[in-house]
Structure 1
Amino acid sequence: MGHIFYDLETSDLDRNFGQIFQIGMIYTDDDLNEIERKEIRARRNPWIVPSPGALLTTGFGDEELEDEKTSMFEFVTELKSWLNDKDWPLTFWGYNSLRFDEPVLQNALHQNLEEPFLTSSAKNWGEPRNSKSDVLSFVKAVHIYAPDVLTLKEKNSFGSVSISLLKVCGQNGIGLNEETAHDAMADIEATLEVARKLKKEAPKIWDQMMKMRSKDDVENFMKENSVFAYSNAPQRGNFVAEHMMATAVAQNAGYANEHIVFDLRYDPAEYLDKTVDELVALLKTEDEDHWKQPLHTLRKNQQPILMPQELAGPVMPDDLDEETLKMRAKMVHSNADFQKRIAEAAKKARPVFEDGAEPEQQIFDFVGRAHNKDVKNWMEDFKSGDWDRRAELIKDFPKRFEQALKDQPSIRRFQTFAQRIMFADAPEKMDDTAQQKYAEALYNRLTTEDKDVPWMTLPKARAQIEEIVEDRKTNPDTRWKEKTDEQIAELRTYYDRLETRLKTAAFGASDPGNDNASEANKTAQKQNRNPKRGM
C-alpha cells in the first residue's frame, strides 16, 4: 500500500468546467518517506478560457498555456500509466483536496473517457479499494484535539483562525511563501511536510483520522462506538467548528454516503415520537438554528472528524456524564421505528440535485446496466486505437448506441468528449468542413455575451479583470494588492490574443463583423447570440 500526495493548478475554481494545467505528485510509503515524484503539465484545451484570478494566482502565461507539448488527453493517459505502476490500494492526499482537487480530477478523468472515481476504485475486481484523505481535515482535528501541536494564531477576514496551507506553513517553520505557493510541486511538498509533522507530534489524532478515510471505515467506527465526539468543521479555508457528543441513528434512505447522528446534549425522549414530517423540519433548519436541535447529517465519504470518548476531552460538555451519554444513546439504538423514520426523513429533507444539461455536468448520470459494458468497451477501443480508428468510432457512435441514446440521452456526452479530444489533438483527421464548423462553434461558445452559460467566456473574463482593478483601488486588504498594473495589462493582452486565434481559426483572415465577410461568416456571427451548448 502506498500514498499519493497531489496538488493541482487549474484554469478556474469551477470544478466542472475548469481544466488542470499542472499536477504535482509525491509517492510515499506508510511512513511518508518519499519513493518517487511526478509532475505533468498540459496545454490549454481549445474550449477553455482561463479565469483572470487563476492566471494571477498561478502566474501562468501564454507560453505555459499555449506552447506546452502535452495535451489534456495525453496528460490523463500519462497520469493513469504512472499511477497504475504503483502499489495499490493507494491513499490519495491533498490540502482541501476533498472539496476541490478531488472533484476536479474526477471531471478530468470523466471528460477524457476514463473511470472518474479512480481515488476510490480497486485496480481489479474484488481487490481492496483506494481511499481519500485530506491533510486539511487533519489540521482541523489536531487544532481541536491536540491544540499545542500547531501554531495557528493568524486570523482570516472572517475573524476565525486561518488554516490555509500558506498560513499553516508560515507559522510552523515549513518552507512555503507567497513566491513559491501555487506551484503544484511546491504546494504538495509543503502539504507532505505538514502531514509528517502531524503524524509525528499528534500520533493518536493521526491514527484516528486515518480510520476515517472511507465510508466503510466510518461506518465501522460508528458501529464500534455507540458514543463519539463529532466536530463538524466545514471543508473551507476559514475555520468554524461545531462540536457534539453524538450517536449514530440511521443512514439516509436515499443516499448511502450520508448518516444522521443525534446530539446527545438533547434528551431523545423529546424526539422519539416525532413524525417523519416533523423530523424533516428539524433536518432542514439552517444557520444558527440548525445547531439548536439534535439531528445532523454526517458525510461518510468526506473524512468526518470523529473521535472515541477517550480522545474527546477537549469538546466534552461539563454538564454531561458518561452514564447519561450511554443511557441516551441506548434510547436511540433500541427504537427501530425511530431509526426508520429518521432514515426516511433524511431522504425527504435532502435537496434534489439534478444533473445539468451540459456534458461536463453529467458525471453522476451513471450509464445504466443495459449499456454500461458496451459504452466501456467503446471508450477502451477509442483510447487504444489510432486516430483513424478513433474518427470511425466517433462517426459510428449514433448508430452503435441508437437504443442506448433513446434509453439514456446523456450517453451522447462520450461522443462529445471524443470529438473534443479529436479537435484538440488531431484536427487534421477531421474533414475540412467538420473542422471549420467546429472552430466556428468554438468561437461562438467562448465569445458569447450570454452571462448565464456555466463556462468561462472571454466577456466574463474581461468583466472579472475590471472587478479586480476596482477591488485593487477600493480595498486595501484585497488579495490582489501585490499584483501590478503590468500583470493586469498582460492579462488583457492574453485575452485579446486568444480571441484573435479563435476568430482566425473560425473565419480565416476575414472579420465576421465586416460588411464584406461571407454570408456564412455573418450567419456564424448571429449564432453567437446562441452559444453552442454540448459542443
Structure 2
Amino acid sequence: MTERKYAIYDSETSGPRPRYDQIFQLAGILTDDSFAQVDQLNIRARRLPYVLPGPKALEVTNIDPYSLDSPEHYSPYEFAVEVHETFQRWAPAVFLGYNSIDFDEEIVRQMFWSNLLHPYITNTKGSMRADLLIMMRAYSACQPGAFVIPKNDEGKDSFRLEHIAPANGFENMQAHDALGDIYATAFMAKVCQQASPELWEHLLKLCQPRGCDEILSAPTCKLVTHFGVSETHLVTRLASNPTNPKQVCVFDLSVDPTPYLNLSARQIAERMRTDFRILRTVKTNSQPVLFHEGDKLAPEVTAEVTSGESNARLMAINDHPTFKIRVAEALSIRASEFEAAPHLEAKIYDGFPSRDDERLMREFHEAASWPQRKDIVARLQDSRMKQLGVRILMSEAPQVFDPAYRDKVKRGMLENRLMPPAEADLPWETFASARAGLAQVDDPELRARIETWLDEQEAAAQAVLAA
C-alpha cells in the first residue's frame, strides 16, 4: 500500500470573494503520513491589472500595496502555472487546508480555470481535499479533550488557527502569512491524528462523495453540524438533486415529518429555505461529518428522541408514496431559481470545455511564444475560454494585439471593472468600494498609505481614459 501524502497549503488574497479576488501568496508543504516535510512551495504573484485589493485584506495579510507590482514576484500567469505544476507533482495526495473547502479550494480552482489550466487537481486521480477546521470541530464533538480549545475575548470557544495552535504548543505563530499558517495547520493535524487515528481515518473517508454516500445509503445515520456549537442529528436520506447528485436532502428525525409529507414540491422548496435545520441539504463533496447510527466514534444525538419516535417517523416517510419524489423535485426547483451567472468569473461551473478546446488549452501552455498563444486563443470555441485567453494575453503580453484593439480592451477593463458608474452593484472591488473600505483599516499609518496608493492608481487609470 502506498503511503499517504499530505499537501498542506494556504493562500493570502486580495479579498474574501473566491470568484473575483486574486491570490497574492500561496505556500504549501508536502509531507508524509506522519507530517514530516518532504517538499515546499512559497511564492508571490503580481497584481492583475483589473484587480484591486480590499484595504482590510491588505491589513490582515500584512501586504504592502506598493509591493503588489514588484518585478520580483511571479506574473499572474507564471504564478498559476507554477502552483499547478507543483500540485501535479505532489499528487495524488490529501490536499489539506484550514477553513479551505469554501475558500482556498475555490479560489485556487478559480485561478487554474482562469488561466486555462485543469482546475480539479485536488480532487481527481486519487487526490482528495480535506478541511482541518471541519475535522477539528468533529473531534471536539466526538473526542472532547483531544486538544485544548481556547476562549476568545467573548468567552466562547475559538477555533481560529492563530488561537488554537499556540494553545496546543505550537510556537512562533505567524498568523495570516501563508507559510506560517501551513506549519500551524500541519502541527494541529498531527495533534488530531495522534489523539485518535481511528477518527482521523473516518473523517478522511468523508473527503470523498462515495464515502458519504455509503453512510447516507443506510436507513438512518448521524450528521454532526457546527454553528457556534456542535450538534448531532439523527437523519434519514430523502433524495438527491437530479441535476447534482452530490447535493442530498436529509430529514431530521427529532421532528415529526407529518406536516411536510403532503406539501407540494414548490412548498417543500420553500421549507428548505425556512426550515433548513429540518430539511437539511448535505453536500457530499464538502466533507460533511457523518456516522452510521451505531458507530462507536459518533457522539450522542443532541435532541431528545426515543427509538420508538424515530422508527415511527422513518416509517411514515418511507411509506408515503410521493414525498421523496417531491423532495427531489424541490431540489430541482431550488437549483433552477439560481440566476444565470452574469459575469465571466462565475461561469466556472457552466459546463466543461470540449475535447478540442482542452487540446488547444494544452497547446497554449506548450507554445513557445505569446504570438503563438494568441493564435491558439483565436481558435477556441468556448466563449468563456476565449475571453479568459484574451485576459491572459492582455495581462502577460499586450503587445501581441494591435494598438487600437489593445487600447479598447484596456479602456473597457478600467470602465467596467475599476471605475464603473456609481450606481453599479458589482461583486468585485472598485476604486469606489476600496475607498469605502478604508474605514475598516485600524492602523492609521497603513490606512494613509493605502489611500495614497489608491490615489496614484486611480490617477493613472483616469489618464488612460482621458487619452
1:296 partner amino acid: R
Name the residue aligned to 1:84: 88
| 8 Å Cα contact 2:96/2:130 also seen in 1 | yes
Q: Residue 260 in 1 paired to residue 233 in 2?
A: no
Name the residue aligned to 1:298: 282
Q: Distance in 1 between matches of 2:295 and 2:308?
A: 14
Q: Larger RCO: Structure 1 or Structure 2 (Cα < 8 Å, ≥ 6 residues apart)?
A: 2
**Structure 2 residue corresponding to 1:210, chosen from 197, 204, 228:** 204
Q: For 1:94-134, what per-residue CA distance to the aligned partner results, in whole angstroms no more than 9, with x for missing partners?
A: 11101111111111011101122222222xxxxxx421110
Q: Distance in 2 between matches of 1:377 and 1:83?
A: 20
| 8 Å Cα contact 2:58/2:65 also seen in 1 | no
| 8 Å Cα contact 1:229/1:312 also seen in 2 | no
SS of the residue corresponding to residue 296 of structure 1 reads: strand
Q: For 1:388-431, what per-residue CA distance to the aligned partner results, in whole angstroms no more than 9, with x for missing partners?
A: 2112234x34xx64xxxxxxxxx322222222211222223232
Q: Distance in 1 between matches of 2:425 and 2:258?
A: 49
Q: Distance in 1 between matches of 2:411 and 2:334?
A: 45
Q: Residue 441 in 1 paired to residue 379 in 2?
A: no
Q: Offset of 1:266 from its aligned partner? A: 3.3
Q: Distance in 2 between matches of 1:454 and 1:50?
A: 13
Q: Distance in 1 between matches of 2:170 and 2:340?
A: 41
Q: For 1:176-228, what per-residue CA distance to the aligned partner results, in whole angstroms no more than 9, with x for missing partners?
A: 54xx21110001110111111011113333222111101111001223x4332
For 1:318-397, what aligned pairs fall within 5 Å after superposition? Answer: 319-322=304-307, 325=310, 328-329=313-314, 332-333=317-318, 337-350=322-335, 352-367=337-352, 372-385=354-367, 386-394=369-377, 396-397=378-379
Q: Distance in 2 between matches of 1:343 and 1:22?
A: 42
| 8 Å Cα contact 2:32/2:38 also seen in 1 | yes
| 8 Å Cα contact 1:227/1:326 also seen in 2 | no
- RMSD of the alignment, in Å? 2.6
Structure 1 regions of 5+ residues with no counterpart? 123-128, 402-410, 470-479, 513-520, 522-535
| 8 Å Cα contact 2:207/2:287 also seen in 1 | yes
More displaced stretch, 112-121 vs 314-323: 314-323
| 8 Å Cα contact 1:228/1:312 also seen in 2 | no
For 1:63-462, what aligned pairs fall within 5 Å after superposition? Answer: 63-67=66-70, 68-88=72-92, 90-122=93-125, 129-155=126-152, 160-175=156-171, 177=173, 180-223=174-217, 225-233=218-226, 239-267=228-256, 272=261, 275-286=264-275, 290-291=276-277, 294-308=278-292, 309-311=294-296, 314-316=299-301, 319-322=304-307, 325=310, 328-329=313-314, 332-333=317-318, 337-350=322-335, 352-367=337-352, 372-385=354-367, 386-394=369-377, 396-397=378-379, 401=381, 411-444=382-415, 445-450=417-422, 451-462=424-435
Identity %: 27
Q: Distance in 2 between matches of 1:332 and 1:156?
A: 45
SS of the residue corresponding to residue 179 of structure 2 reads: helix
Q: Offset of 1:51 from its aligned partner? A: 0.9
Name the residue aligned to 1:515: none
More displaced stretch, 66-75 vs 348-357: 348-357
SS of the residue corresponding to residue 9 of structure 1 reads: strand
SS of the residue corresponding to residue 35 of structure 1 reads: strand
Q: Distance in 1 between matches of 2:166 and 2:255?
A: 41
SS of the residue corresponding to residue 315 of structure 1 reads: coil
Q: For 1:357-400, what per-residue CA distance to the aligned partner results, in whole angstroms no more than 9, with x for missing partners?
A: 22111111114xxx711221222222221212112234x34xx6
Check 1:390–1:254 CA distance in 2 against 1; reply closer, same or farther (3 A cut).
Answer: closer
1:169 partner amino acid: A
Q: Distance in 1 between matches of 2:127 and 2:220?
A: 28
In the alignment of these two chains, the number of paired residues is 459
Q: Offset of 1:336 from its aligned partner? A: 6.4
| 8 Å Cα contact 1:387/1:429 also seen in 2 | yes
- Tell me which structure has the larger Cα radius of gyration: 1
1:362 partner amino acid: K
| 8 Å Cα contact 1:27/1:36 also seen in 2 | yes
Structure 2 regions of 5+ residues with no counterpart? none
Q: Offset of 1:15 from its aligned partner? A: 1.2
Name the residue aligned to 1:17: 20
**Structure 2 residue corresponding to 1:494, chosen from 445, 453, 464:** 453
Check 1:144–1:176 CA distance in 2 against 1; reply closer, same or farther (3 A cut).
Answer: farther
Q: Distance in 2 between matches of 1:353 and 1:161?
A: 35
